[in-house]
Every structure is written in C-alpha cells, then in structure tokens.
Amino acid sequence: MMYLWAVLIAMAVSGALFLAAVRYPSARIAELPQAIASMRPIDAAALHTLTDPVEDDFLRTLLDAATLRQVRRERIAATLAYMTSMFHNAGVLIRIAGFASGDAAEAAAKLADRAIQTRILSALAIAHLAAAYLWPSLIRPRDNAFAAYANLREVFAHYVYRTYPTMASRLTSAL
C-alpha cells in the first residue's frame, strides 16, 4: 500500500512539473539582461560525477549498505538541486527564444524546441530522483536530462553567436 501511495505521489508531481514545463517557461522575465541575471550556474562535471554509474559501483564496493543508502541520498539531493536549476534555465532559454527578431526565427524555434525537451526531461528526472530518494538501494539516477542539457547549451551557443554576437561570450558563460 505504501508503494502505491509513493507511485501516485510521484505521478502527481511529474504531471504538475510537466504542465509547468509547457505552460510557464519563466513569464516574469521581460528583457535579455534580466534573463541573464536569472540563470543558475550548473557544474556539468559535478553533475556527471553524481549520475555516473561507475562512481556508484565504486561506492558500493567501499561502503556498507546503511552508509551507502545515506551517501546515495546525499548524492540524489545534490542531483535534485542541479536538476531544478536545469529546469529553471531551460525555461529562461524558452523566454530568450521569444525575444528573437525575424532574422533569427529559425534558430529561436530550434532553441525553444530543445529547451522544452530539456525542461520536460528534467521534470521527469526530478520525479525519478524523488523516487530514488525514497528507495536509494533500488533506483539509480540517470543522466538523460544531463545529455539533453549539454545539447541545449550547444544550440544556445549557436543561437547567441547568430543573434547577439556582441554579447555572445557573456551569454554563453551564464549557462
């Protein structure tokens, strides 16, 4: 019965995050400098280490079961923080794509599409991590959203160099 409630809660959370991902990208952002200031930094190397199965296997060989569960929960909590930042940044990029002029419409559409995909994947990852936090010995974090975010960074860099060439380095470093 407890398992059923946990699954229902995870489904409700993921449904709410999915709706938020599609409907509310970051409506309060009205101009580009405000968008840059609202970006949250993500340490890609740290996130990759947190979701690396080889690292998890290494920890399993070193730690007893109780300590391993505690360490996994701490790693999952850190990964959740990165995923929420990823979710937020993807919403900001959707908003930035909305600032595009007619010349950059195609690049803006591609940026918005990748940002929506990343936002949805990060919302699903958040739900998956919530379940993994409850059962750290059964569920391993995955890095699907991390790969999507890396791709989104590339698309954003291309978009920025085309649309805002004088601000390109500052914008790309914000991610």
pLDDT at 8: 65
List, run by run, the mean pLDDT of 10-residue segments along the chain (175 residues). 65 64 56 82 87 88 92 92 92 86 83 92 88 77 77 87 79 76
Domain holding 13, by residue range, is 2-174
Predicted pLDDT at 63: 93
Check: CB of residue 111 under 8 Å from CB of residue 97.
yes
Structure tokens at 66: 């109780």
| Non-local CB neighbours of 112 within 8 Å, separated by 6+ positions | 93, 94, 97, 98
- φ and ψ at residue 156, rounded to 5 degrees: -65, -45
Q: What per-residue confidence (pLDDT) applies to 114?
A: 94
Q: How many domains does the chain have?
A: 1
Q: Is the separation of the CB atoms in 152 and 145 below 8 Å? A: no
Cβ contact 87:125 at 8 Å: no
